Structure formats: C-alpha cells, structure tokens
Chains A and B, each alone.
Chain A
Amino acid sequence: MKPMAVLYDFDRCMGCRACQVICKMWNQNPAGPPASFFQGPGYQNPGSLNDHTFSVVRYNELVDPKTGELRYYFGRKQCMACLKPACASACIVGALEKLDYGPVIWHPEKCMGCRYCMVACPFGVPTFEWHSNNPRIRKCTFCYNRQGSKYEEVGVKFEGYSDEQKKQLEEDGRLMLSPACVTACPSDSMIYGTREAMLEEAYARIEANPDAYPKHPRTGKPWVYGEHEVGGTSWLLLSTVPYDKLGFPILPFEPADHYTKISMISVPITFTTVVIAMAGSYYLTKRREEVKASEGKTSKEKESKESEEKKGGES
C-alpha cells in the first residue's frame, strides 16, 4: 500500500476544535479537567498534549502583519507519523512500529516504560500515564484502526466499479477510512490521500499564491512542513505564517537517527578493536615480564629490574 498522508492547511483552520473532540471520541479518551484561561495559553485547551488528549488545536497569538494587531493563528499538534520515526528507532524493545501506510503505533505487550521515545521525539508528542501503576505511552495513532479498515468492511458498497478500477482505488488508498479528525473538519482544512497526491496539492496551492507562503530559512525554497523535516512526515502542513512561530521547530532534513545509526554501526568495530588491543597488550606485557624474569636469573639484573619497574609505574 502507498504511504498515506494528510495535508493540513492552517490558513483554513478556524479553531473550532471539532477534530479535537472527534479524536477523543474515536480513541475513547475522557475529557480532562477544565483549563484555566489565565494560566494556560489563552483559549487553547488543554495547554498541551497529554495521556488523554492525542491532538490539540494550538491557539497562537501573533501580530497580524496587515493590521498590526494581535490575532489568532491556528495550528494543530498531533503525532506527525514520521516516515523514519525517531521514537521507533530509539525504543529499546521495538514497542513502536511504523506501518507501511503511515501510522506509528505502540505495542503495550512490549513496552517497559523507559520513556526514551519521549526524549527522542523531535515534536514532543508521546505522553505517559504518570498516575498509573501500569502506565501506557499515549499518542495519536494516525487512526491506524480506521485507515486499516476498508469502507466495504464497515458496510459501504462500491457499486458500478470494475474490478480494475477497484484495484486502482485500493492502491491509491481511496477505499480506506480517513483519520477521524479529517472527517470532522467543517472548513476542509484537512484532506487525506496518498502522500504523493497530498504533496502535489500542497505545491499547487503554493503556486496559486507564491508570495503568500514562507520560504524555508535554510534552503530558501517553498516550505511545506513535513515534506523533508526529519526525513519527512505523514502530516504535511501548509501555512502562510512561518511554522516556527506556530510551535513547529525548524528541524534538520536528515532522519532523527542519523547520528545514533553511526554509533550503532561502530559498536562491533569498537568492541573488536578494544578486545584485540587488550589481548595484545596482555601478551606483550606478560612476555616482557617473562623475558625480564629469565634474564634476572643470570646477572646484576636486580637493580635494573627495579629501576625499570619504577619507570613503568611512572609512565
């Protein structure tokens, strides 16, 4: 199956939080305690992702360059479902798994709760059940359990299509249920499809209005957030405001494991080198001592041996 993606156009988002509500419904997450307006980030509720909130609409208060006044710029935070997920490469037992069609899911039967995934995630997404004695890692699953099912399985009939057309539809992921949040959006800010198609659509929107969109600060090219970030993500964000102002960090294009990969490759090399060097030193020093001992039997060695030992000790 082709990798799927959601294109999220932040400029179309009106901050209604319908996606946030339906996300809770689909994942059967309870409501949290009411947020206090003056202690949190304004109307944003809750202030951040937590063990029962997998996606949160961010209310970014920024100065509108046209009017010079403060206004809200919306965006949403959820698991970006990286193509090369940092969490999955970090996990000691492989409890986080990347599925071929996009989602990154967590396996409760493996996890030991070390929380390295939370340290490694460049978006700060995975959360933890801090008040449970059998805690889970909680995060958006990119609705793997919706995307994994086909319309036909939930009773939607596709009539009037030839088998070949159906096959094509399946290959394009068109027969799959979209993530819950996408279905809830009243302003069509999110669309779902293959990653290829979504990128095409993003660039079409940029092309229609090239001056409005920000350029990437390093490459100077049009910036679709998630196209290249940490090796690419399944969520593609589009905004006329630079993403770093909306709470999305400027990240390198290399996958998050590009350094740790090198250190893991060098493990067997380091081990072999050290072991050979140590074994060699062991035999060399042993041999030297044996030679010294055999010489010692003959002549005035005692003094020279002592002085040598001293030297050896000092060096």
Chain B
Amino acid sequence: MKGIAKVILWILAALAVCLTFYRWAKGLGSITHLSDTWPWGLWIGFDLLCGVALAAGGFTTAAVVYIFHREKYHAIARPAILTAFLGYVMVVLALLVDLGRPWAIIHMIWMWNPHSVLFEVGWCVLLYTTVLALEFAPVVLEKWQNKFSKILQILEKVKIGLVITGIGLSTLHQSSLGSLFLAAEHRQNPLWFSPMLPVLFFLSAVMVGPAMVIFESNVSARTMGRELEKDAITGLGKALPVLAGIYLGVKFLELIVAGDIGLLFESTKYSMMFWIEILLPILAIVILLSKSLRENPNAVWGAASLIVLGVIVNRLNVCLVAMPDIFHGRTYFPAVGEFIITLGIVSGGVIAYGLIAKYFRVFEEQRT
C-alpha cells in the first residue's frame, strides 16, 4: 500500500474510534442527524445493509468452489471469504455504534421474539460470522501447522458442512434484510415497497457477490503488486450479466404486476433515484455483452464496480430515500459524524485486510 493512503486510513479509523466514545457518552443525537421521524440513517442504510450485501462474495464463491467444484475459482476463495468475514465484523462494529444500548446486544441470544424479522437477521449474522471465522481459521492456523494439526484436521473434515450451513444462513439473512422493510408498508414509496423485497434483496446479493470479488481482486492486485487471477475474473465476468439480468427482470416484472411501472416516468426524486439504481447494472450488462470487453480485465473491473455501486444506491434508496417522513415532512441527510464513523469503519476493514494478507497466505501464488 502507498504510504499516504495508509496514513489517511489510520487517521480515519482513529477519528472514528474517538467519535464512537463521544457518541457513547453523549447519545446518538450528539453526532448524528437522526430523529424520531428518521430513526434509521446512514449506519443502517450503508454499514448494515450495504455491508452485508457486499459481503455476499463469501457465500457465492464458497458455493462455486466447494459445492460445484469449479477448480479455476479456487484462487479467489480465500480472499473472498476473508472479505466476507471482515465485512461482517464491520457490520457488527457499526451496530455497536448505532444501537442505543450497545451492551444489550447480547440480549438477542436469550430474549427471543420469533415474530421479529430482526431476530432472524440477528441470529443469522451471529451464526454466519462464526461460520466465516471457522472457514477462514485454517488460513491463520496453518502458519503454525505443527501446533494446530489436530484442529486443522477437524476443520478440514467439517468444511463442507460449514460451507453448506453458511450458504443456508446467507440465503436467509440476505433476503430477510429486505423483509425488514415489509414492516414499513405504510410509508415506503411503492417503487421500492413490494412483498417481493426479500427475493429482490437475495437476487441482488447473489449478483453483487461476484462483482465485489472482481472489484476487490483488482484493487488488491494493484495495491499489493500481485498478479490478477485472470481466469477466475473473466469467468465471473461472464456470470455477471446473467445474474444482473435475472435481478433486473424480476424487479421490472414486480413493478409491472404491482401496477407501479408508471411511477418510473413521473419526474420525482423517487423516479430519478430509481433510474440511477437500475441504470448502473444495465450499463454493466451492456459492457459485458461485448466479447472483446469481456476479455479485458479492466473493462470487467469497471462493470463490476458499476454493479457494486448500483447495489449500494439500491440499499440506500430502500432504507433512506424511499422512506419519507409522512407525518412531519422532515428530511434527513447524514451528519459529518455519521460519515466519519462509516469511513472509519471501512478504513479499519481495509487496514485489517492488508495486515492479514501480509502475514498469512491469503493469495494462491504465495503458496509454496
């Protein structure tokens, strides 16, 4: 990593830590623009919803490599699982900042409300983070192979079980994050509200999983000066337009069936945000349909970035743009403090990724 970038990352992370202590002492109102009519803001919209969606590369890659035995993707399995694991840790960190009573987060474990979607999401995130930790543990433990040979053997034996459990848990909570907003039927804009929200959330997660793997492989290849896994990346690049096509198809079909398609052609801020959200993946499909561009890693990288961006806009739309304050008409824009904490958590994730990649064999070519 370049020196200056590193310094900036550390500064952002340190700032976020300081602000977090300030917010714990003074309350959420002290550094956010959240209010009674805007109880959820940037931290839920970006850190939680986008964080979980962008970590979908973990379960999609695990499925391709370990379930469907596509050997050519083996090289990206470890980095994908590491990204996913760090992603979930970042989600939990963000929750500790966002929750009004962060120490009570453990209540979830023994105070059950099986009617609550959030209860299911919470348990899935908890279990899946554990699964990811176990899936990634061999990478850390193999460094001291002699000491941990027993544990490594056990982990190797349960690996497929872990992968399958992880896919099941991911399917559940990736979709349930959409179900969260089924409770907001009364206020969510009809362009986004639909009983199909869980399905759309799941399909977009499956689409953004490979896109994120492509994006992150490119970034790490460039910053760490290693070779790109070209075979795997072009392979994923071929899958992207199919996955994006399925997602967009279901999305449009839902709009047509629900009779809300007309709203797309009214000039409101909602229709504008909706167009941005879907034009990004459409553009990615257009790029990837051309054969020469599909073979070009840079073009694939660009297309994958567009899809990642599209999903980020989608999650922010569902959580923030589509949920107007119907009672008082107040608006919300995140405060500086909210941005700093979000950036700080992301920086912390990038720093951790860099450190782990430096000390452990995350990438294939380092294997001896």
A residues near B (Cβ < 8 Å) are 47-51, 86, 88-95, 110-116, 118-120, 122, 124, 126-135, 247, 249, 251-252, 256-257, 259-264, 267, 270-271, 274-275, 278-279, 281-282, 285-286, 289, 309, 312-314
Contacts and interface: CB of A to CB of B under 8 A. Distances in A.
Contacts, number: 192
Given A48-B328, A130-B34, A278-B168, A263 B198 contact: yes
Contacts of B117: 90, 260, 263-264
Contacts of A313: 70, 72, 235
B164 A112 contact: no
A312 B65 CA distance: 12
B41 to A, nearest CB: 10
Contacts of B27: 129-133, 135
A279 B113 CA distance: 30
Interface in B19-69: 24-30, 34-37, 39-40, 63, 66-69
B364 interface: no
Contacts of A94: 111-113, 116
Given A119-B39, A135-B28, A313-B70, A259 B326 contact: no
B195 interface: yes
B29 A130 contact: yes
Contact of B36 (A48, A110, A120): A48
B269 interface: no
Given A128-B36, A133-B27, A285-B68, A256 B185 contact: yes
B167 to A, nearest CB: 5
A130 to B, nearest CB: 3
A112 B106 CA distance: 9
Contacts of A89: 113, 115-116, 183
A204 B33 CA distance: 47
How large, as a class, is the contact surface on chain B? 35 or more
Nearest to A134: B101
Given A267-B172, A271-B168, 14 more contacts: A48-B36, A90-B118, A93-B108, A94-B111, A112-B101, A113-B99, A113-B100, A256-B186, A267-B120, A270-B172, A278-B63, A282-B67, A312-B70, A313-B70
A133 B29 CA distance: 10
Given A261-B115, A285-B67, A112 B167 contact: no
Nearest to A259: B182
A247 B327 CA distance: 7
A133 B122 CA distance: 23
B327 A263 contact: no
A58 to B, nearest CB: 10
B183 A119 contact: yes
Interface in B151-203: 160, 163-165, 167-169, 171-172, 175-176, 179-180, 182-187, 195, 198
Contacts of A115: 39-40, 100
Q: Which 9 A-B pairs have the closest CB atoms?
A: A113-B100, A130-B29, A94-B113, A112-B104, A259-B182, A118-B39, A115-B39, A93-B111, A92-B118
A42 to B, nearest CB: 14
Contacts of A286: 69
B34 A114 contact: no
Contacts of B323: 119
Given A282-B67, A282-B164, A285-B68, A118 B36 contact: yes
B123 to A, nearest CB: 10
Nearest to A115: B39
B195 A124 contact: no
A48 B107 contact: no
A138 to B, nearest CB: 9
A252 B113 contact: no
Interface in B70-87: 70-72
A257 B183 contact: yes
A309 B119 CA distance: 43
B186 A251 contact: yes
B67 A93 contact: no
B114 interface: yes
5 contacts: A111-B100, A127-B36, A135-B28, A256-B183, A263-B182
Given A92-B119, A118-B36, A118-B39, A260 B172 contact: no
Contact of B35 (A126, A130, A275, A282): A130
Contact of A133 (B25, B114, B164): B25
B108 A112 contact: yes
Contacts of B164: 275, 278-279, 282
A130 B99 CA distance: 11
A68 to B, nearest CB: 26
Nearest to B103: A112
Contacts of A116: 116, 118, 180, 183
A256 B67 CA distance: 39
A198 to B, nearest CB: 24
B160 A282 contact: yes
B238 interface: yes
Nearest to B184: A119
